[in-house]
Structure 1
């Protein structure tokens, strides 16, 4: 086990965290907290200080992160707390900046993370069922959670020890799947809550989207709007653990953005209705390095968050939210002082005014010009689609449509959600070509079909993919041989219920094509030759699913029947023939991505004319790093689909061939009215992702080794580093420009 390498910050004296019906109570004081999610493995340790510092400057009090079990325990009993998984270093960096932590232990996290954060080896345990009243699973879950909590206690990271962790989460959105498990699900969620409580962290535990959370666990809301959320007990505070500034991106789908005016509106409404803790999911999304992305999720996890994938503030979102946070904190004395519900004062159907003040027994106090005694804060909301003029306490207030004005003293407007500051920036991506006009490439043509007779698996039917690969690779070869009685007969190969994300078909060693599979299966035309024929199918996954019930039962690869459909509707069933399986690619077993293998004899001699548009080819070249400090990415727009490494670091899967739908982005993105999917879609008709983040800490000044595995065919000469440059621009008031 690797111990954290970070310098330990100076720990303060331990304190006490509790809660009442209004908020968390920290050291005897009610706290109204703004939080943001930053997942430590989706960036690098070198990036963490800058990200956390920028979050603090943006007005955050708390950093929220999941803990990723499969990254920390890749093999049973072998723990990894190094590099991007050095959670202690990350939490200590948060504390160094004076921020607090909500640690979402799970250990199921979803997070669009491979297998929802579960280690693949769990599926090898006899009789195991995940996330239900199953003894083998509960044993492993308790063992890991106990180990993690003990590890964090050893580093004195809980608030009672002087650390930053003020609360923790057990399980994650179990309310979405509990009905699938019936009574066993209820028993499991109750067990999970009690197990967590018995770990004695001395900080509150939460469960998100869990209406039946027991009395000692705070249930919280995850949604785009949580103003109407009510905890399952009057003794619990109103908390919002996931507020989405945008949405994740899937291969082949448009990018979903959200106007910052609506995001700020939702936050203000939440505190207006008695909320006490709000977390942006994500505040910095980061990157799905390695093979950590869940099925069909892009390598970028940018989330159109306030801090972009590369660690830079997204303007004007970041600045607008910073101003919002400042206004809410100005209201904190009044929010904390009111023990009951705020006074609700309405002028018309679409205008709602909530007042927090220490003396509000008489409504007439708010209908004249006399200011009430004591602290007072007001939220004036217009939930309609037209502007409104409101009279409040003898003054007139103009409320833009779909906006909230915050008055920390019940007089002066400190912030309106529709008034975005006149600050913005434009992102420009500049490709940095190699110094030489032509550069040398090495290449390696991978084998077609099973390539090592000593490691193949033979059976009378096609195996499910994850059963063989154990999720160590995206690739599984299937081979079947048979005899065709006539010459050059046209056929259709039909694979029913196929569940890879892509399938390649080779007939007698020739690549016939590839296609994205779907629930109805996979179809490939082919022409057989008389006599012996060999069909090779390369099944490709892009991550295990991360959500839904019965995760251990979800499949990859060939799941149903495999048939040949010939002339006169003749059908040949291949299911009963002998199937040969090969896990992975030959280049993977040669570790061609590793820096120490850069001189391997497997690579071809240097050439300036590498093969182009061929499937299953590995490429290697060298390029100097771009000068300066601007964020670096790899431009893979000329390639098809595969994986990329820089200096041995796996920067993730790429799929430049697949494009977003061409329609749906021509709508005006109005900041007024409730947001929904596709309301503000971006990047229609463009590649789902062309540029891939390469952290600066992974680069050398000269001689960076770039390795690609190209799966379907591309032009490596178009591959190069690029940099992202931010340029300040003058922006008009967005309340006018976006409608």
Structure 2
């Protein structure tokens, strides 16, 4: 690129905030030039970073976006998550931490453009790739296809998104520069008619600005829709990026790396992924020097709270459910603090600014604190809070029960006084096995464990199977094989067990849990409650090293899952969700009913396998 053109591009990026400050309602023109994006007729280079609004407490959105500006970003990328916004069919939610409209508006107030990715499939290491679980209950529905029921539900959803977000496009006075249709579709299929239907749906929903596709380099030919800009993921050799885009886009640019990976995500039982900044600083420099626009995935990962973690599964590898921390070894860490990678990338971006233009000062890191030992004063057996069961001859899946996430307790009664092999055919995904209320073992889909040698005591025996949905597959060809629970049958000594009660335990919130009975010795899964007092409101990390497996809520906020196998051993507790004085903590513990104390420490433990 000529030196003059490069300076114009970078000046456009550096002065983006002035465009916002002049008049937030001014309509802008954002278009494709032959080599660069054009903003109001002038070349513009996006230096973007991905942040997902549900992975950050709403109260912290603004501070995270200020950090983005301080690193030199002029744009923010985010997915839109269908399963959050339509958790049950026809029931939409854009409130609280789901208020993406407010997130985009705060970005505008902070002088940041936005790249919107409603998709509606997002991958994102997110439950079912962002699809709502209830799509699996629609008979014959086939995601990512021209199947009519899928297209009907998809259209209903995207119109709801369009009502709220289409008015925020730049051509309507907002800050949304571009909108992505589908997501890495080329890694899944190659149906251009299906992609064209996506394009039409987005336009019908009001997205009348620039639309684009994004795919890994090797799959870009499959996933590109002629006429739209093909963005590239995972490739950062400037020469190769330009050659690939030119081959798909009539010999023209502009050139956009929609997902540039400065690190990677983690899953249970595998090492924590870290990549030194020096391995990527030079690559960032070369891309920016070439005038290529870029979106860092992730700039700030945050936390996958609740039951929203996804999982990977391939024919060549085991089921891999992702952890709750989405730290990603990103430039901004899980708590929103700048890392050495942040400072290194900031130095690179600063090199490309025209003389006299300076980046904002980096806000101070947030303080963190340790919390003395928290004693869980109340403890009850999970069996004491079971809801009314659903009965059936054979086990029902989560989807049969109209249950989205969490756990289901399966119960049957059999004659004891014998020994044999218990087998759960197609278990999804983890089971605690109990005989007469006593835990005798676990089964784990990750390890391809579906059978257990069992010795039954004499007399009538109650067999309980506490089954956890560890996260629906979010990538690849198995998206439609995502039903949860006991998905086929249970055998004992090769004979099918029948006559089941199923207790739904979604744990959508903890308000309904009553700690009426006094604490006593518990042998199986348990729920514990405690309080702790703080005099200041700082971040902390709950140390779960000595616990087994479960979920934690503080003041009603689900902080995510913990599991002693690692690599994650702590759960991030944001200062924004604490209150001065007494705070309530509730823990669902599956494996270690004797565990009763924990503490908050100042730094996370994200790389310890046990």
TM-score, reference length from structure 2: 0.85
Change (3 A) 1:426 1:647: closer
What residue number does 1:223 align with?
234
Change (3 A) 1:270 1:277: same
Q: Residue 482 of structure 1 is aligned with which of 395, 409, 414?
A: 414
> Secondary structure in 1 aligned to 2:400?
helix
> Secondary structure in 1 aligned to 2:297?
strand
Kept in 2: contact 1:432–1:626 (CA 8 A): no
Change (3 A) 1:530 1:433: closer
Q: State the alpha-carbon separation in 1 of the partners of residues 487 and 85 from structure 2.
A: 31
Change (3 A) 1:497 1:70: closer
- 1:290 aligned to 2:306? yes
Q: State the alpha-carbon separation in 1 of the partners of residues 507 and 88 from structure 2.
A: 20
What residue number does 1:446 align with?
382
Q: Residue 640 of structure 1 is aligned with which of 548, 553, 562?
A: 548
- 1:616 aligned to 2:525? yes
Kept in 2: contact 1:632–1:693 (CA 8 A): yes
Q: State the alpha-carbon separation in 2 of the partners of residues 558 and 625 from structure 1.
A: 43
Q: State the alpha-carbon separation in 2 of the partners of residues 197 and 426 from structure 1.
A: 42
> Secondary structure in 2 aligned to 1:93?
helix
Q: State the alpha-carbon separation in 2 of the partners of residues 195 and 428 from structure 1.
A: 46
Shift of 1:427: 11
Q: Which has the higher helix share?
A: 2
What residue number does 2:295 align with?
279
> Secondary structure in 1 aligned to 2:455?
strand
What residue number does 1:379 align with?
none
Shift of 1:322: 0.8
Larger displacement relative to structure 2 (71-80 or 15-24): 71-80
Q: Residue 36 of structure 1 is aligned with which of 49, 58, 62?
A: 49
What residue number does 2:194 align with?
188
- Unpaired segments ≥5 residues, structure 2: 1-19, 312-320, 356-361, 605-610
* Post-superposition CA distance 1:204-229 (Å, at most 9, x none): 11111142523331111111635323
What residue number does 1:242 align with?
259
Alignment of 1:279-428 (within 5 A): 279-295=295-311, 296-314=321-339, 316-330=340-354
Q: State the alpha-carbon separation in 2 of the partners of residues 637 and 718 from structure 1.
A: 11
Shift of 1:626: 5.7
- 1:582 aligned to 2:489? no
Shift of 1:426: 11
What residue number does 1:3 align with?
none
Q: State the alpha-carbon separation in 2 of the partners of residues 531 and 257 from structure 1.
A: 54
What residue number does 2:127 align with?
114
What residue number does 1:87 align with?
100
Shift of 1:531: 5.1
RMSD of Structure 2 on Structure 1 (CA): 3.0
Q: Residue 704 of structure 1 is aligned with which of 550, 561, 583?
A: 583
What residue number does 1:462 align with?
395
Q: State the alpha-carbon separation in 2 of the partners of residues 507 and 178 from structure 1.
A: 46
* Post-superposition CA distance 1:646-668 (Å, at most 9, x none): 1111111221x21xxxxxxxxxx
Q: State the alpha-carbon separation in 2 of the partners of residues 519 and 721 from structure 1.
A: 31
> Secondary structure in 2 aligned to 1:308?
coil
- 1:432 aligned to 2:366? no
What residue number does 1:370 align with?
none
> Secondary structure in 1 aligned to 2:401?
helix
Shift of 1:275: 5.0
Change (3 A) 1:224 1:512: farther
* Post-superposition CA distance 1:634-680 (Å, at most 9, x none): 2222211111111111111221x21xxxxxxxxxxxxxxxxxxxxxx
- 1:258 aligned to 2:275? yes
Change (3 A) 1:143 1:440: closer
Kept in 2: contact 1:456–1:583 (CA 8 A): yes
What residue number does 1:362 align with?
none
Change (3 A) 1:176 1:579: farther
Shift of 1:129: 0.9
Q: State the alpha-carbon separation in 2 of the partners of residues 77 and 474 from structure 1.
A: 22
Change (3 A) 1:289 1:27: same
Q: State the alpha-carbon separation in 2 of the partners of residues 581 and 522 from structure 1.
A: 20
Q: State the alpha-carbon separation in 2 of the partners of residues 621 and 194 from structure 1.
A: 53
> Secondary structure in 1 aligned to 2:351?
helix
Q: State the alpha-carbon separation in 2 of the partners of residues 78 and 254 from structure 1.
A: 39
What residue number does 2:314 align with?
none
Alignment of 1:10-25 (within 5 A): 11-25=24-38
Change (3 A) 1:520 1:617: closer
Q: State the alpha-carbon separation in 1 of the partners of residues 79 and 144 from structure 2.
A: 17
Shift of 1:445: 1.0
Larger displacement relative to structure 2 (473-482 or 615-624): 473-482
Change (3 A) 1:456 1:12: closer
Shift of 1:148: 1.2
Kept in 2: contact 1:440–1:621 (CA 8 A): yes
